[in-house]
Structure 1
Amino acid sequence: MTVRLDNPPWLTSAATRAVFAALEAAGGPGCARFVGGSVRNALLGQAVDDIDIATTLEPEAAFGAIRKAGLKAVPTGLAHGTVTAVSGHRPYEITTLRRDVTTDGRNATVAFTDDWGEDAARRDFRLNALYADLTGRIYDPTGAGVEDALAGRVIFVGDPVTRIREDYLRILRFFRFYAWYGRDVPDAVAMAACAAEAEGLARLSAERVSKELMKLLAAPDPRRAVAAMAAAGVLARILPEAETGPVFQRLCDLSADPVLRLAALVPAEADLLRGLAGRLRLSNAVRDRLVTGAEAAAAVRPDMGDRAARAAVYRLGARAVQDALMRQRAAGAGAPVDDQRLTALITGWTPPVLPVGGRDLARLGVAPGPETGRLLKAFEAGWIADDFPAGGHEARLRALLDPGPNPPPG
């Protein structure tokens, strides 16, 4: 039975047709097909982000054809068969049909081919080994990719152990695709292969591991996939700190943010999270967010008042307070009396700048030095405690210099 895509806009656009016209001018009709995620997602009625194209043209020929057509061509990976065409301000990754010659679990030496079946045989899962032409007709070389996609099954192409040993990242890709597309229980044969080959994950770079993990955690509901990873012994390999208990379970209902979900998978301990971020080579921004969120956890509660919330935002930053509050809610700590009020305050309040500095103290006769820092720190503590008053700053400083029976003004 012939299956066709229902003319999604990205397939029928002038930009897409220009790329196909350029390739077919060099390789003839049928030399190019859409492949992988765009076909799978369009079949399922889901959004398409990246458009990948497979072609029988060799890389140099594809590169030349794109340039000859007046489109921008980028040699993104000629040795591995990949060039990128830019048409209508959109990138199209074009890869020559390939077969593996040698693999080492991380990288493969490939040879180019004109056999669509050989190209499909080296792909990871049957639902990813789908191709479509410019009319929307789907080609399914494994004979089961369309059925798998529609049924929510993630099954390796051919022997799972063979596919995994070609690239151990496929273990994590299995759980990531299960998180996004799987239904019911994961494939038992795939699970057994992932468990048996999990030791090979140690051969992967931290960057590849963390990228897959974050993509998995960004799925609408990653909980079943994370549970399957734990059951296969895979989660412990990449995230030995993981705790898949109630905090993580509840937070997945509260937020779709993969960074928050990662934080909820481990104890809220700043040093532990700092070490985790370093081990996984997470970006500095993600590392800092994880650490500051953990540091804020002890200072905030969902039922805190406005004054306490402002003090927390001033000291810790709005993002850290929001993250800590989300974790507290997931942990069931405190009763959010007015959640909308607190969220509006945290996101809408701009912390003021400390209204005094060393020059103000110098005018009062304090010489520059350690005493200046001590006095400014004391001033700031009282100013925060009094909820950031707009005036009375000089009187407060004078009171710190000559404390009498009366406290600094509030």
Structure 2
Amino acid sequence: MRNLLPPAPWTRRASISALVQALDPAEEGNCRFVGGAVRDTLLGLPVKDIDMATRLLPEETMARLQAAGIKAVPTGLAHGTVTAVLADGPVEITTLRKDVETDGRHAVVEFAQDWQDDAARRDFTINALYADPRTLQVHDWFGGLDDLKARRVRFIGDAEQRIREDYLRILRYFRFQARFGSIPADAEAEAAVSALAAGLKGLSRERIAGELLNLLGLPDPAPTIARMAELGVLAQVLPEADPAPLAALVAAEVREGVAGDAVRRMAAILPADPATAEQVAARLRLSTAQRKRMASAAGRSADASTDPRAMVYRIGREEALDRLLLTNRATAALQGWEPPRFPLKGGDVVARGVSAGPDVARTLRRVEDGWIAAGFDDAAIPALLDQALAQLTA
């Protein structure tokens, strides 16, 4: 792994150069790129978010940005974070910090001037890489470059101590292991996450859900989820979960050319029981839309032989796709197909002599069921209506 950051497109943006000039006009080394942008650029991966660290206090950061005409938003002044709003995307700028107290959920920090102090409080070595914005030199105090080369996810310093500072790092470890790690995994890291897994119970459900969904949204989380189960971690956050079905779902998504989806994958490792899915979704405080999808996916065993297009018509494309993939069925019938409108109206039924009321609704349902069974054939409507009317008078 080179000690220079490759000159990726984001490093050459005019807006980034202007930002660096605003923060460090005298070239005193007041700011550096840090974290994911550095890590992913070294790996040749696309960069989504750009973060910077600075020795400037947040008020000074704000003042310098505003003096340069750059919009500055105090997104987390208490934690030293200011967001620079640039034309091609925001950049978060955080003052160097060091931990003075932690309780496993929150850390009390104070601002610092030493880059290594700031690096030492981060979670993994591969996330503690800093790059000079002018020279692109990479600064690495904890072997992160070697770990990137080895595809090794390793805690900085003592793994158990890092976890006790914030138990969410257990789930972050598995997410990074799924994305960047190799097999076998770092033995010290695995021993620590297994030993301290019970600490996850003290975290907010929202934080747990966010990390789980981020993990499940990765290209192939199945081996990692299985390893979480083996190490006793999965049971702490999803005691209902069985990791076994996840690999089959991922394989089905790949086979059908369907993008992997975190909610669908969470449904895969839960029992096919709507009540259980609802309980888990509520416990994790998922959104209303996510809860509905989870409950729908949990009903997948009820329609193993239902025509895919009929399923889309009745429950929606996304929900139908979930059920098809979860039951390892083909989705080709849905490609380029849009559900048609049911052509019969209540007025058409009334015109045939049916009084307005329940009989009209009952007739429409019968005709619609027949129309769906006939492959949405509008030509079948007259005969289906005759049959439904005959049933009313029978």
TM-score by length of 1: 0.88
Q: Number of aligned residue pairs: give it.
A: 387
**2:342 is the alignment partner of 1:372:** no
Match of 2:82 in 1: 83
Match of 1:12 in 2: 12
Identity of aligned residues (%): 47
Mark the CA change 1:179 to 1:2 in structure 2 (over 3 Å): closer, same or farther: closer
- Report the Cα offset of residue 263 of structure 1: 2.2
Taking only aligned residues, the RMSD between alpha carbons, in angstroms, comes to 2.3
| Alpha-carbon contact 2:75-2:81 (below 8 Å) kept | yes
| Alpha-carbon contact 1:296-1:320 (below 8 Å) kept | no
**Structure 2: how far apart are the matches of 1:59 and 1:21?**
17
Matching of residues 245-284 of structure 1 within 5 Å = 245=244, 247-255=245-253, 256-284=260-288
**Structure 2: how far apart are the matches of 1:392 and 1:263?**
38
Match of 1:332 in 2: none
Amino acid at match of 1:155: R
SS of the residue 1:34 aligns to: strand
Using the TM superposition, name which of 170-179 and 99-108 deviates more: 99-108
| Alpha-carbon contact 2:374-2:380 (below 8 Å) kept | no
- Report the Cα offset of residue 275 of structure 1: 1.8
- Report the Cα offset of residue 404 of structure 1: 9.8
**Structure 2: how far apart are the matches of 1:226 and 1:73?**
40
Amino acid at match of 2:8: P
Which segments of structure 1 move beyond 6 Å, counting only runs of 4 or more? none
| Alpha-carbon contact 2:57-2:95 (below 8 Å) kept | yes
- Report the Cα offset of residue 103 of structure 1: 1.9
Matching of residues 91-240 of structure 1 within 5 Å = 91-134=90-133, 135-142=135-142, 144-240=143-239
Mark the CA change 1:71 to 1:366 in structure 2 (over 3 Å): closer, same or farther: same
Amino acid at match of 1:43: L
**Structure 1: how far apart are the matches of 2:385 and 2:225?**
55
- Report the Cα offset of residue 159 of structure 1: 1.6
Match of 1:333 in 2: none
Using the TM superposition, name which of 42-51 and 356-365 deviates more: 356-365
| Alpha-carbon contact 1:175-1:225 (below 8 Å) kept | yes
**Structure 2: how far apart are the matches of 1:272 and 1:31?**
52
**2:302 is the alignment partner of 1:298:** yes
| Alpha-carbon contact 1:241-1:266 (below 8 Å) kept | yes
| Alpha-carbon contact 1:168-1:201 (below 8 Å) kept | yes
- Report the Cα offset of residue 244 of structure 1: 1.9
Mark the CA change 1:403 to 1:140 in structure 2 (over 3 Å): closer, same or farther: closer
**Structure 2: how far apart are the matches of 1:110 and 1:404?**
75
Gaps of 5+ in 2: 254-259
**Structure 2: how far apart are the matches of 1:117 and 1:388?**
67
Mark the CA change 1:405 to 1:377 in structure 2 (over 3 Å): closer, same or farther: closer
The C-alpha deviation readout for 1:37-71, integer Å capped at 9, x for no partner, is 11111111222111100000001110111111111
**2:370 is the alignment partner of 1:382:** yes
Using the TM superposition, name which of 259-268 and 147-156 deviates more: 259-268
- Report the Cα offset of residue 2 of structure 1: 7.5
Using the TM superposition, name which of 170-179 and 375-384 deviates more: 375-384
Amino acid at match of 2:251: D
| Alpha-carbon contact 1:248-1:265 (below 8 Å) kept | yes
| Alpha-carbon contact 2:371-2:378 (below 8 Å) kept | no
| Alpha-carbon contact 1:100-1:111 (below 8 Å) kept | yes
- Report the Cα offset of residue 100 of structure 1: 1.5
TM-score by length of 2: 0.91
